[in-house]
Amino acid sequence: MKPPPFAYCRPHSLDEALEFLAEHGDEARPLAGGQSLVPMLNHRLARPEVLVDIGAVGELQRMERDESGWLIGAMVTQRRVERDGTEGCQLLRLAMPFIGHRQIRARGTVGGSIAHADPAAELPAVALTLDATMVAASLDGEREIPASTFFAGPYMNSLEDGEILSHVIFPMAPPSTRCSFREFARRKGDFAVAGVAAAVGFDDGSVTAARLTAFAVGSNPVRLAAAEAAVAGRRLDEAALTETAEAAAAEIEPWEDIHGSPQYRRQLVAALLRRALQEVAP
């Protein structure tokens, strides 16, 4: 568990980082908090020639709120988001404690987790649920990528060579939106066996718009379109809960690993979604 040889550089500005990345192309990998990449290096699953440590790039440390939402720089640690809070963005706040352990969150970054696109990770699920915008920087300028197209398969994103995820914009939800974040992990801090995120708007007790996402059940987090349709316009009574949960279980195509079969993961998503909806019900 020692990495193969690599070169290491630590730029101090975004432009400098982008120049390194442009110079080395696909032989370079940005190193953010290192909570996924370093183990992959040690297992020799990732073998970059050059590590570009972006920990000293000040532009990536922004964390600002305006009327449209929260702008969070790629190098902002998960722990900082958790500690400083993201007022008005309830789902993000609810999700943070599920990310690994506090020690991991102290190093792990928002941008690192989203760019790594682990199918079981929490932040990609939050980004997808809230329709967050990923902002990619390159020497040519900035490009906005919606969450719905950012994730391109397990551990894959749609950044191009020479691009780096510079920040993420999590939009504010309307005030009537109520959120729940639920995941089932074998131990506290483990990767989820299955999880759901819900942001549900209500008007006079009925659902106006439901944004429902399942994660750790496929290549990437997935919006539960059939479940969203099943719950739209309804009060969250017993029948609505059951039908929505069943719709979710039916529409996902989960994978199998030693912690559970596809069948088990469908049941988990149904149980978690049901509880999430109970939680947000007015």
Partner 1 sequence: MPDTFELGGRPVYTGAHVTRRQDDALLSGQGTYVADLRPSGMAEIAVVRSPIAHGRITAIHTAAAAAVDGVIEVITAADLTDVAPYPNFADAYTQTPGTFPLAQDKVRYAGSPVAVVLAEDRYIAEDAAELVEVDYTELPAVTSLEAALEPDSPRLFEDWPNNRLLDLQPDDSEVAAILAGNRVLRRRYKMGRHTAMPMETRAALAEVHGGRLHLWCTNQHAHIARTTLSYVLPLAERDIRVVIPYVGGGFGLKQHLYPEDVLVSWLALRHDRPVRFVEDRAEHMIAAAHARDHMIDIEAAIADDGRILAMRVQVVQDLGSAEIFPGAWCPALTTAAHMTGPYDIRDCVVSVAAVTTNKTPGGSYRGFGVPEAVFALERFIDEIADEVGADRLDLRRSMLLQPADLPYTTASGALLDSGSFAESFERVVELGEHAYQRADARYRSDPDSRIGVGYAVLFEGVSPTHHGASAHWMGHESCTIEVQPDGGVRVASGVTDQGQGTTTFVATLTADALGVPMETVRVELADSDATPYGLGAFGSRQAVIGGGAILLAAAEVRGKVKRIAAHMLEAPEDDLVIEAGRVHVAGSPVPAVTMAEIATTAVIRTIDLPPGMEPGLEATARYEPELMEHTPDEKGRINANAAYANAAHAAVIRVDLGTGEIEILNYILAHDCGRVINPPIVDGQIWGGIAQGLGGTLYEDLCFNDLGQPQTAFMDYLVPSAIEMPDLVIEHFESPSPNTPLGMKGVGEGGTVGPAAAIGNALAQALAEFSPQIHETPLSPAVVRAMILDQPA
For residue 259, the minimal CB distance to partner 1 (Å) is: 7
For residue 92, the minimal CB distance to partner 1 (Å) is: 23
Structure-block tokens of residue 64: 């600002």
Stated length of the chain: 282
Interface residue with partner 1 among 131, 190, 246, 279 (CB under 8 A) is: 190
How far apart (Å, rounded) are the C-alpha atoms in residues 248 and 200? 15
Q: What angle do CA 148, 196, 152 make, to 5 degrees?
A: 30
Please name the helix (run of DSSP H) or strand (run of DSSP E) that holds residue 23, with its range, or none: helix 14-24
Interface residue with partner 1 among 2, 8, 160, 175 (CB under 8 A) is: 2
For residue 41, the minimal CB distance to partner 1 (Å) is: 12
Task: Name which of 12 and 102 has its Cβ closer to partner 1.
Answer: 102
Interaction between residue 237 and partner 1 (CB under 8 A): no
Please name the helix (run of DSSP H) or strand (run of DSSP E) that holds residue 115, with its range, or none: helix 110-116
Q: Which stretch in 60-68, 104-112, 128-136, 251-259 sits in contact with partner 1 by CB under 8 A?
A: 251-259
**Residue 109: DSSP 8-state:** B
Closest CA to 109 of 46, 36, 213: 36
Interaction between residue 189 and partner 1 (CB under 8 A): yes
Using CB under 8 A as the criterion, what x/- string covers residues 253-282 for binding partner 1? ----xxxxx-xx--xx--xx-xx-------
- How many residues touch partner 1 (CB under 8 A)? 28
- The bridge status of strand 63-66 relative to strand 69-73 is antiparallel
Interface residue with partner 1 among 4, 58, 153, 174 (CB under 8 A) is: 4
Main-chain dihedrals φ then ψ at residue 186, nearest 5 degrees: -65, -40
Q: Which stretch in 54-62, 136-144, 145-153, 190-198 sits in contact with partner 1 by CB under 8 A?
A: 190-198
Closest CA to 268 of 187, 190, 179, 183: 183
Applying CB under 8 A, the residues found at the interface with partner 1 are 1-5, 43-44, 184, 186-191, 193, 257-261, 263-264, 267-268, 271-272, 274-275
